[in-house]
Amino acid sequence: MSADAGPRVYQDMTWEEISAAAAADLPVAIPIGATEQHGRHLPVCTDWVLPQRVLCEAARLRDFVVGPFVPFGYRSRPGSGGGQHFPGTISLRATTFMSVLEDILSELKRGGFNNIVLYNWHFENTGFVYEPAFLVSERHPGLKVVVVEDVFPEFTSERRNILWPDGFPGLALEHAAVIETSLWMYHDESAVRTDRMAPDAPQRVVNHDVLPIDTRMSTASGSLSSPMGASAEVGKLLTEWLVERVVAIIDEEFG
């Protein structure tokens, strides 16, 4: 299998195909996400399915393995993911999450991979992806790990005007809103419950966290800003921008 024949996807490969890819020194990119509520209109698998779809598109342009996805992430926060009070969200404590990533990295190294990309979609995982990468790297100096904790491309003023003509809400509030809804509409429109889409906004937006959870920092629907401007056309543009960034990283780090 090659980039011309279609993307190499770890979960669909045999052990011999995986071994051959590792022996060829191909990079493997791990989609890291979460199982988290995404409003009334999107599925809870959003944070690991969308990065996998983006990596698959990138793997059509460059020969690398789309690695095994990580479907659980660090606990959801009201101001960026809606919060732990929503049913459907299944989160890991930080130590568990980091241990899982550390074991995955160690196993991939054992299987022969020397070039790994950690591609994180879930905002709350930020900071906890680098630590296990650092620990495994210390034990295996020949292993190269590229940590991408913020997958988004640069949102220039021109791009912002396309995505948010009524004003940019900020990436922290872009949860189950225009970006993720548009990507789903482009990659799998059947996953979007369009009849349940509605504008929403938190009663309170601050740059700090509060415990016990202050539900005013979230919303009743779980969408932290309006998804109403979403479309498949916007999803196609977003996919192109995201893939462009992945390809640039692969080219820069692995030639």
Active site residues: 36, 38, 47, 122, 124, 175, 180
In the block, which residue shows the tokens 């009524």?
166
Question: How many whole angstroms separate alpha carbon 177 and alpha carbon 154?
Answer: 18
Structure tokens that stand for 176 in this block: 């189950």
Structure tokens that stand for 173 in this block: 């509030």
Residue type, 193: R
Helix (H) and strand (E) counts in the chain: 7, 7
CB 237 within 8 A of CB 244: no
Structure tokens that stand for 12 in this block: 């669909």
Residue type, 73: G
How many angstroms from the chain centroid is the CA of residue 180? 10
Burial of 232 (0-12, 13-18, 19+ CB in 10 A): middle
* Coil, strand or helix at 107: helix
Question: How many whole angstroms separate alpha carbon 23 and alpha carbon 115?
Answer: 11
